Amino acid sequence: MTGEYQHSIDAKGRLFIPAKLRDELGEECYVTLSVDSCLSVYSTASWDAFRSKLDSLPLSVSRRMRTLFANTAKCELDAQGRILVPQKLRDLVGLKKNVTIIGFSNHAEIWDSEVYAKLESEELTLDNIAAAISELGL
């Protein structure tokens, strides 16, 4: 998934998912915590692949994932292309009204727009881009 989109969470906690991302996510998706201060959104296929990997891990490792699964919501797109982002998840990552949705490899991320703008201004440098490309061997 790729791209950057600006949207708002409405008073009921609903968020419009851009058409390009909806096409890749499908009618159902999983919204969960990320390693950064954002939420990650996975298609059912990507989430199932993640769960399969987890099932093959030792119990001691999989137990550490309990919090992640407890804070994951299965969401369905409504007729207007929106998902309901649970209040608990919004609170955990500090999402306010204005959010930035980005495509990031096999999933999308939902960021508070102010937080993402700050992160982008710090990370979007030619040196950082060159280092990332080099790490990928491109």
Complete domains list, the chain, with CATH: 4-112 (3.40.1550.20)
Q: Where are the alpha helices (DSSP H) in the chain?
A: 19-25, 44-55, 59-63, 66-70, 87-93, 113-123, 126-135
* Averaged pLDDT of the chain: 91
- Mind listing the pLDDT tens digit for each residue in 78-98? 999 999 999 999 999 999 999
For the ranges 30-44, 63-77, 113-127, the maximum mean pLDDT occurs at: 30-44
Please give the Cα distance from 120 to 104 (Å, whole number).
Answer: 14
Cα 91 to Cα 124: distance, rounded to the nearest angstrom: 27
pTM score of the predicted model: 0.88
Instruction: State the average pLDDT over residues 51-61.
Output: 82
- Model confidence band, residue 27 (pLDDT cutoffs 50, 70, 90): very high
Mean per-residue pLDDT, 33-40: 94
pLDDT digits (tens, 9 = 90+) for 103-136: 998 999 999 999 999 998 877 677 767 777 777 7
